[in-house]
Structure 1
């Protein structure tokens, strides 16, 4: 008997259409719906324009209890609230024991916590990568496991949160727009985090922004989606070679990181009034020559497009925030924007791969920090500076930099 009964009638037809993209077993078409109801086959399924469109019709039929939900969290700060300390983290494997980093974060004083990708490992089952069904069973189970964790519950109860996703909570390692089940992954993400009725729930992709604080002390947090619209990366021709470990920069004219709608939205956001702008990307933005893993540098035309857009909109006070790398880093570039710009990479919460990391990028400030960690962004409104700090698992500072976010004329 299938888990969702008569919904298998719909999904069985759809999965035939999707088979050319990702082989997956279909739910049992003979099963009965748990409530005894019979699903009505939408007429659009008789001639869907694409496999993804057919899947989308199926996903619209899924009941609410299909989706896991996070514990109720603390409300975001109000538009007039002044922010002085923001925490950031990424890479939390929900199958591992309770995290000292999460326990430490739950005890920290902060105005906001940014959980910026790989918030679960929903494309793995503890034994390695899996081939997901169209119903993304492992991803949904991973979010359910996250919701049940005491350390996560403690953070939810203490700190307001904003979220972004990366590949492992998107549903497929290193995947972009080619992932055939991305629309269900989006629904899972938005419902788990309670975003389905917000503005982000009204458009494809998971990007959104919020602004906090009065004039002169406004913080804008821009959460980008670097998965849903991203074109495929170019695989390396020398697997594992330093600087070319997985991918090489693309020369394709059709490369895309954000998609047309998100690019237009970002342009509008950068023109909104703000004193400090945190541009959050699940993958790194500034590094160019230190590694060959996922990063904006693998799509160099898109990296330059981002820099150009920030410059053209005259958006000041930009600080980049990223995760993904299983090592924490600080970076600064004097050439990417018309003013020096910094980036903090905070990773990982509990998926450290080593105790040391010898990676060096031309924009890097100090050594990378490989053990479990989180980041802190501390704002000094009086002096117009922001302190970017890498914190160890018990909250000790292991690397930091202080950078201005106002031009001299604005002080």
Structure 2
């Protein structure tokens, strides 16, 4: 099988230089790129090639009024023993659980980041390991779930559209979570949205894909310096976060009626000056494009939700949107790197929390507000703020 993949890669590269049909075992076509050639092969893979999650609960009905949503990101499936955080989430009372990226660490062996090969063996093994964990099975049995991916369950650290095996990564993601036959399975990328509740109590949840279409980031000129740790702001006029189709789709979603909108981005949206890791601020024209689109569509009630950072934060911006904009960053479930963090962004509300944690969003329809909470592994609220959405 590896020889077939190698032949496809070589054939695809050749196809970029010499148009015309080529022959690959079982496939005769004229691919325009190595990625196209690989995709033809990927379409021949049997269903048993893909790991699948334990059966989960159906999403709430369209008329269901949501009152509590849980959020988590950054989960290492190789950690020994059940996760206190996942076990606590399974025991919580909630309408929905959003698992919003780095749901597995499928691009590393131990703690040494590797380069995935064309069949994404390590990524698929990581998802199979996640499916076998009792703590994850408990969560699946307790809460309906919506999901997004980030770099480590996409297949390569900090990767964007340049990742050569992204089309297989998408298939692995969609088949594992059982969404391949839904609308999200009909287009490139993993973005989708769902709405719950009647007029006056309607929550729209928009799951963005900040990987599949994203243009490269600009490497720092002062590695490790605060605010420039890994990346600096791009000045590329062609920078892109979501890709044309997803941007158009998002515009349409923002015009749909909703009272509260949770816009889920695997990477942070509001922070601008507190760090130099991945975030929308590293593509500043795209960050402003997002704010402008929300403003121009008249989309009310937006609250941003993000992960990725191995620490949790709360943010409030008075300038991003026509009304105060809030963000809850919930990270990580079991991949804490330090006990405390002194990071501080100009939009940040209070101190961050860097031990294992998850987020909770409590919706008070009578007051028109949401409580944004960071909860530790024991379920205790350690950070909290309240956002008005009407």
User: Could you say whether these structures have the same fold, taking a TM-score greater than 0.5 normalized by the shorter chain as the test?
Assistant: yes
After TM superposition, the structure 1 = structure 2 runs for residues 71-82 of structure 1, keeping only pairs within 5 Å, are 71-82=54-65
Q: Which moved more, 1:123-132 or 1:337-346?
A: 123-132
Aligned to 2:73: 90
Aligned to 1:43: 28
Residue 289 (structure 2) pairs with residue 332 (structure 1):
no
Q: Residue 42 of structure 1: CA displacement?
A: 1.1
After TM superposition, the structure 1 = structure 2 runs for residues 186-225 of structure 1, keeping only pairs within 5 Å, are 186-225=170-209
RMSD: 1.2
**Per-residue CA shift, 1:363-386, capped at 9, x if unaligned?**
000000000000000000001000
Provide the rounded CA distance (Å) in 2 between the counterparts of 1:184 and 1:352: 29
Structure 2 unaligned spans of 5+: 15-23
Classify the secondary structure of the residue corresponding to 1:303: helix
Aligned to 1:122: 106
Q: Residue 48 of structure 1: CA displacement?
A: 1.7
8 Å contact from structure 2 (residues 12, 36) kept in 1: no
Aligned to 2:217: 233
8 Å contact from structure 1 (residues 166, 226) kept in 2: yes
Residue 90 (structure 2) pairs with residue 138 (structure 1):
no
Question: TM-score, normalising length from structure 1?
Answer: 0.91
Aligned to 1:270: 254
Q: Residue 87 of structure 1: CA displacement?
A: 0.1
8 Å contact from structure 2 (residues 341, 352) kept in 1: yes
Q: Residue 17 of structure 1: CA displacement?
A: 4.6
Structure 1 unaligned spans of 5+: 1-6, 21-38, 407-411
Q: Residue 14 of structure 1: CA displacement?
A: 1.0
Aligned CA distance change for structure 1 residues 8 and 123 (closer, same or farther; 3 Å): closer
Q: Residue 16 of structure 1: CA displacement?
A: 2.2
After TM superposition, the structure 1 = structure 2 runs for residues 249-328 of structure 1, keeping only pairs within 5 Å, are 249-328=233-312
Residue 55 (structure 2) pairs with residue 61 (structure 1):
no
Aligned CA distance change for structure 1 residues 18 and 237 (closer, same or farther; 3 Å): farther
Match of 1:111 among 84, 95, 99: 95
Residue 369 (structure 2) pairs with residue 369 (structure 1):
no
Classify the secondary structure of the residue corresponding to 1:401: strand
8 Å contact from structure 2 (residues 76, 335) kept in 1: yes
Q: Residue 131 of structure 1: CA displacement?
A: 2.0
Residue 143 (structure 2) pairs with residue 159 (structure 1):
yes
Aligned to 2:20: none
8 Å contact from structure 2 (residues 72, 359) kept in 1: yes
Q: Residue 15 of structure 1: CA displacement?
A: 2.6
8 Å contact from structure 1 (residues 229, 257) kept in 2: yes
Aligned to 2:21: none
Classify the secondary structure of the residue corresponding to 2:112: coil
Match of 1:15 among 9, 27, 44: 9
**Per-residue CA shift, 1:89-131, capped at 9, x if unaligned?**
0000000022100000000000000000000000011141112
Question: TM-score, normalising length from structure 2?
Answer: 0.96
8 Å contact from structure 2 (residues 12, 31) kept in 1: no
Classify the secondary structure of the residue corresponding to 1:191: helix
Classify the secondary structure of the residue corresponding to 1:43: strand
Provide the rounded CA distance (Å) in 1 between the counterparts of 2:2 and 2:214: 31
Provide the rounded CA distance (Å) in 1 between the counterparts of 2:129 and 2:163: 23
Provide the rounded CA distance (Å) in 2 between the counterparts of 1:42 and 1:188: 21
8 Å contact from structure 1 (residues 373, 393) kept in 2: yes
Classify the secondary structure of the residue corresponding to 2:108: coil
Provide the rounded CA distance (Å) in 1 between the counterparts of 2:383 and 2:8: 51
Q: Residue 19 of structure 1: CA displacement?
A: 7.6
Provide the rounded CA distance (Å) in 2 between the counterparts of 1:8 and 1:167: 24
Equivalenced residues, count: 380
Classify the secondary structure of the residue corresponding to 2:205: strand
Structure 1 runs of 4+ off > 3 angstroms? 7-10, 17-20
